[in-house]
Structure 1
Amino acid sequence: MPDGIAEATLLDYRYQLVDMHQVNCAGLLVQDNPDALVLAVLCDFGDRAPEQMVHYIVRRLKELLRQDDKRFREYMSMLEILSENRNLQAQIKEAEKMLTQVDVKRLPSYQLGYEDGEAKNQRQVVRQLLCQLDASRVAELLGLDIAEVERIASAQDDDATRDDQQTD
């Protein structure tokens, strides 16, 4: 690549070229700037493994842009393009795959199902205890007030009716 522009009698401009492969990436990685993070993929990783550096860059981008999915996708696209200069496509692909792994327990649908399961379990325990004990003793054992035990006991009949209707 030329280190200047020379046009006879019009322009003679010189500039210094920087080989990004020789620039230490540490200075770019400490910035809370997505542009700097993406540019760091071109720099010298030193003794750090490329997989580790790519994962770090992607994780930091996700942290910085967590509220802006559109910008995150744009920066990931830039990262993919620049990674070709370092032959890091496999590491980028692995980092993107890591991003798609979802903590299922954090999904609202999981939480709703879990809460529903807990409520059914609580009704089942109350029902079994009420077969042997009176409501005041069940309330005492479970740390509930008697009105709550009675509410749970009546709700179990609704569940049993629904279950019977579904099997018919």
Structure 2
Amino acid sequence: MVDECGLCRGPEIDKELGRVQVWEDELWRLSTSIGPGNPTIASSYLEPKRHIPYLPDLDGAEAATFGSVLARCSAALRAVTGVDLVYVYIFGGTPHLHVHLAPHREGDALNTSMIKGELVLETLSSGVTGFQSKEYAGLPEDELEAAATALRAELNGFHSSSSS
């Protein structure tokens, strides 16, 4: 626990944030928004109990269980709300990892936009919809290729435990 971190306070901060804890185990907790003003059903927040600032800082038991806990919480949200999709968002503004789980219903306040501005949509030959921002130009392809090459080198030799 980090004294100055509000999210390290766990359920103690929930009332202030307009939410209630609905599940926990020894490593994780899930809280759900109960308002006021939430325009979507069962918006929830998955957080490690231990202070872990951001996603790249996950380690130990939290790293080992993150995927299964995320999948189980998302499945429970789908079952309870009857939605087909639960959006998963991770923002970096608060230095305690918290994953937003947002059940999505057609016509609700959520959207699929990952980038700012008006989007240009294109149906690709695969049937997948590609998108680009009208307001932000695409980065040079050589810069994108260099980033992909550097990432490949950084991850060379990494194998998830499920593929070992």
Asked if these proteins are the same fold (TM beyond 0.5), I'd say no
**In proportion to residue count, which structure has more helix?**
1
Q: Relative contact order, CA 8 A, sep 6+: which one is greater? A: 2
**In proportion to residue count, which structure has more strand?**
2
**Larger Rg computed on CA atoms:** 1
> What TM-score, normalized to structure 2?
0.29
